[in-house]
Structure 1
């Protein structure tokens, strides 16, 4: 059994996408980030960066103590290695080919966690949540997100998935961060390959199951944040 410390955000969706695709037994432990649950000592013992998601794998397969993993990219890599699924490695690949395919997947996994996620997050902050309009910041992050979408669009030209031989953790990492802000949508018209790829993932039954968890876990999803929630999410300095 895997305990998933989760709140329905793009980074949280990455992990439910994998768990639903793989059919692993898991239990959701809600971490209400608007109320500061991510700062509770019990959670910090698992995720010292006070960010979710995080997991505790109570059956790591080696007979040892439970394994804790924080950071969404590390969790995806751990689950792929644990199950041997969604690694991007072609069935029957020899050792040399498998190594190269894993490298390719990791490149795009790290591209997402270091680029697409943070830049899209800043785009959302300044377009949706910031208390004042800062034109420079809005334009800066809009252009950067569009640049990254262009990178992804070129990558997907002539290929079904981002990396490797099949649907992989690279796709699961990137998918939730495409046009995540309904109140500040980005025009995806120029990115035909991204739109085709995104629609293919949206049509997967496991994707529907993963996103159905949003309302189950947070019935207020989609509603404007209160001032107190904004203070918790955006007003933290050193603790």
Structure 2
């Protein structure tokens, strides 16, 4: 039987343990765990390969990784049995969530207004929550904290707080962002969890003011598939 992954250079650097399974290239960052949580929630068989993004010479800058994702970011994946039964390489966490939702028919409505309602909240995370929380993390928890001028940090504090307010209002009277558990929750909750528990920015943004968000994150973290997905790609 022909190996469906043999045309992907990345598989020579990170050999598949099971070529018939989805190959996931990731790290347990807020973006990385979106893919692993979705795979766990959907019950799909996959091999996970840890990608070190620690410096400019790390795994994501290698020719093999760039052959799959020219934007040198995690997560990326290969489905050996994609559309039409042909292998599909895919990158960008939002695209991966949409693809897996369509592939399995889970956590993404098939059509109609409900589908687009879910997609718009996925875009809210992709265009707002992720970039803004990430910049706040840089200026508060990483090298940006060394900058004496706090105006850049404060700009992202204000925008992060505004986004938390939008999310809190949407969650009023709802367990999940769109009513039913969906890719919008899988995309967004890891970022909120990261903001508070890794960046230690909860006090900075007044996280205690957003009770609906806090309860929603707790519900999310209680899911067994989420617990499994959050540690995929972690250091051993």
- For Structure 1 versus Structure 2, the TM-score category normalised by the shorter chain is 0.7 to 0.9
Contact 1:2/1:26, CA 8 A, preserved across alignment: yes
* Structure 1 unaligned spans of 5+: 90-97, 220-239
* The one of 99, 121, 135 aligned to 2:112: 99
Contact 1:126/1:133, CA 8 A, preserved across alignment: no
Evaluate the alpha carbon distance shift between residue 33 and residue 102 of structure 1 in structure 2; reply closer, same or farther with a 3 A threshold. same
The whole-number CA distance in structure 2 between the counterparts of 1:16 and 1:105 is 19
Partner SS, residue 207 of structure 2? coil
The whole-number CA distance in structure 2 between the counterparts of 1:23 and 1:179 is 23
TM-score of the two chains, using structure 2 as the length reference: 0.83
1:43-65 CA distance string (max 9 Å, x none): 1111111111011001115222x
The whole-number CA distance in structure 1 between the counterparts of 2:223 and 2:148 is 38
RMSD: 1.5
TM-score of the two chains, using structure 1 as the length reference: 0.82
2:31 is the alignment partner of 1:11? yes
**Paired residues for 1:189-200 under 5 Å:** 189-200=208-219
* The one of 164, 181, 186 aligned to 1:167: 181
Q: Which residue of 2 aligns with 1:147?
A: 162
Q: Which residue of 2 aligns with 1:76?
A: 97
2:184 is the alignment partner of 1:185? no
The whole-number CA distance in structure 1 between the counterparts of 2:91 and 2:176 is 26
Q: Which residue of 1 aligns with 2:221?
A: 202
Contact 1:4/1:56, CA 8 A, preserved across alignment: yes
Q: CA deviation at 1:183?
A: 4.6
Count of residue correspondences = 207
